[in-house]
């Protein structure tokens, strides 16, 4: 503990957790390291003219973050798993009562939360920058969530993946009526989107899942709880101090109406560069997605079965859609990609 700057007295104080859990030694040390690194990055960014936070800086903090073994996400756990590495910062709805409050982790590690919220704010797409608010950020590490609909989500959600990995694209059913049993879903109705290179706006209440992958993969999901409009004023103010832009009623109305009931209208995707600024919306061709940093199974002949999504669905495929590097100057003026139903 002391070698990592965590005296036992500090750990004891940290474990006064109103959410009913405690930080183990490993988790507490990891989170403190992530918090310290986030604070240094934020200070450096401010000294450099409030520059954008890069993907690499976010990834570095995610790699340090101590994840608890979350056994409460049975709807997303891969078959055979008993827990997933999944945490939430921002607001949560208590399972034991109707109260919505700021997580203890957010209060303990405010710079970690500020880093993530600034990362999104720096590159918020022009089309939604004035209306997309959120209460919570779900942080995931190294698991491919199985097909599910979110259980406590107001709908509009932004997702982005980080790390060095192959595969791991998001499958999404934009025409899901939210009533059809998941086991009856038609594979031909899904779209498959590379969220390593794209920031995706989607409805978390429609069916979605993650393809299998190889490597180290993290994801951030920015969303609002169903009780987003029932947050106590004290927690609301503290959330905003941590950079969490809890939506207003007009903002939520706009975002829910923006996501149409089916097809292309049910999602938006914006190509990303690790240091890009906010992007402007328009339709772009399939070459707008930046090139992967390493080769992936679907790019190779004779790839191992199951190493990547290979069925004939509506998907971004590097083999069919060659990518090119986009200079930063071009990305600053880039437009939103509306992902077509064609390959």
Q: Which of 163, 55, 62, 51 is nearest to 112 (CA)?
A: 62
- Total residues found in the chain within this entry: 343
pLDDT at 13 (0 to 100): 55
Q: Which of 288, 272, 263 is nearest to 340 (CA)?
A: 263
Q: Which residues contact 208 (CB under 8 A, 6 or more apart)?
A: 145, 147, 148, 149, 170, 171, 172, 173, 202
In angstroms, rounded to a whole number, what is the distance separating the alpha carbons of residues 291 and 272?
11
Q: Which residues contact 175 (CB under 8 A, 6 or more apart)?
A: 189, 261, 262, 263, 266
pLDDT at 24 (0 to 100): 79
In angstroms, rounded to a whole number, what is the distance separating the alpha carbons of residues 6 and 28?
8
SS3 317: coil
CB contact at 8 A, 146 and 209? yes
pLDDT at 273 (0 to 100): 77
Q: How far, CA to CA in Å, does 340 sit from each of 101, 192, 258, 285? A: 39, 11, 17, 9
CB contact at 8 A, 58 and 118? no
Helices 110-122, 55-64: crossing angle, 10 deg rounding: 150
pLDDT at 185 (0 to 100): 97
Q: Which of 33, 31, 37, 34 is nearest to 14 (CA)?
A: 31
Per-residue pLDDT of the chain (343 residues; tens, 9 = 90+): 556 665 665 655 555 444 334 567 888 899 999 999 999 999 999 999 999 999 999 999 999 999 988 888 878 888 889 899 999 999 998 766 678 889 888 999 999 999 999 999 999 999 999 999 999 999 999 999 999 999 899 999 999 999 999 999 999 999 999 999 999 999 999 999 999 999 999 999 999 999 999 999 999 999 999 999 999 898 899 999 999 999 999 999 999 999 999 999 999 999 997 554 444 443 333 333 333 444 564 443 333 333 333 333 334 333 333 333 434 344 344 433 333 333 3
Q: What is the distance between the terminal CA atoms of the chain, rounded to a whole angstrom?
A: 52
């Amino acid at each position: 503990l002391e070698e990592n700057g965590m005296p036992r007295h500090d750990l004891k104080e940290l474990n006064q957790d109103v959410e009913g859990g405690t930080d183990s030694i490993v988790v507490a040390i990891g989170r403190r390291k992530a918090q310290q690194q986030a604070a240094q990055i934020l200070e450096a960014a401010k000294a450099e003219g409030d520059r954008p936070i890069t993907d690499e800086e976010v990834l570095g903090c995610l790699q340090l973050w101590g994840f608890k073994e979350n056994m409460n996400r049975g709807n997303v756990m891969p078959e055979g798993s008993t827990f997933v590495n999944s945490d939430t910062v921002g607001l949560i709805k208590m399972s034991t009562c109707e109260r919505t409050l700021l997580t203890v982790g957010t209060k303990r590690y405010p710079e970690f939360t500020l880093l993530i919220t600034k990362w999104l704010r720096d590159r918020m797409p022009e089309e939604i920058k004035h209306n997309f608010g959120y209460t919570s950020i779900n942080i995931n590490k190294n698991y491919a969530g199985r097909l599910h609909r979110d259980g406590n989500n107001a709908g509009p959600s932004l997702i982005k993946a980080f790390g060095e990995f192959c595969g791991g694209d998001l499958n999404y059913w934009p025409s899901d009526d939210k009533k059809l049993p998941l086991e009856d879903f038609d594979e031909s109705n899904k779209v498959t989107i590379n969220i390593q290179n794209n920031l995706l706006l989607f409805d978390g209440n429609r069916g979605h899942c993650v393809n299998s992958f190889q490597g180290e993969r993290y994801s951030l999901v920015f969303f609002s709880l169903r009780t987003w409009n029932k947050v106590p004023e004290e927690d609301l103010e503290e959330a905003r101090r941590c950079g969490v832009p809890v939506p207003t009623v007009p903002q939520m109305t706009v975002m829910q109406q923006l996501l149409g009931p089916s097809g292309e209208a049910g999602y938006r995707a914006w190509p990303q560069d690790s240091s890009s600024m906010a992007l402007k919306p328009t339709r772009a061709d399939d070459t707008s997605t930046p090139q992967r940093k390493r080769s992936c199974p679907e790019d190779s002949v004779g790839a191992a079965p199951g190493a990547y999504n290979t069925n004939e669905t509506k998907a971004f495929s590097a083999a069919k859609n060659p990518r090119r590097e986009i200079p930063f100057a071009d990305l600053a003026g880039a437009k939103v990609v509306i992902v077509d139903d064609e390959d």
